[in-house]
Amino acid sequence: MNKEEIVITDEWITLSQFLKLTNLFDSGGFIKMYIKDEGVYVNEKIEHRRGRKLYHHDVVQLKSGETFIVISS
């Protein structure tokens, strides 16, 4: 499985802010709907909270298969 690294500058980032950095979604509203309706896997557990804090080395996976890893600089 290919994991794309997304670098953040803080200790943590919310799930919705992180998904904006992937450039896969058209708007923040769509991200909110997607998280609520579809859910996103964070470290292999389904998550529906857009405010979920992500930290260094957390793995985020969409149901479509795209996988990202959080890297804190």
Task: List residues bridging with 70 in a β-sheet.
Answer: 6
Pairing of strands 67-72, 3-8: parallel
Cα 50 from chain centroid (whole Å):
9
pLDDT at 2: 82
Listed in order, strand segments (DSSP E) in 1-66 are 3-8, 12-14, 40-42, 45-47, 53-55, 59-61
C-alpha to C-alpha distance for 48 and 32, rounded to whole angstroms: 9
CATH class (in words) of the domain with range 3-72: alpha beta
pLDDT at 69: 97
pTM of structure: 0.93
* Regions of the chain with pLDDT less than 70: 1
| Per-residue pLDDT reduced to its tens digit, 13-22 | 999 999 999 9
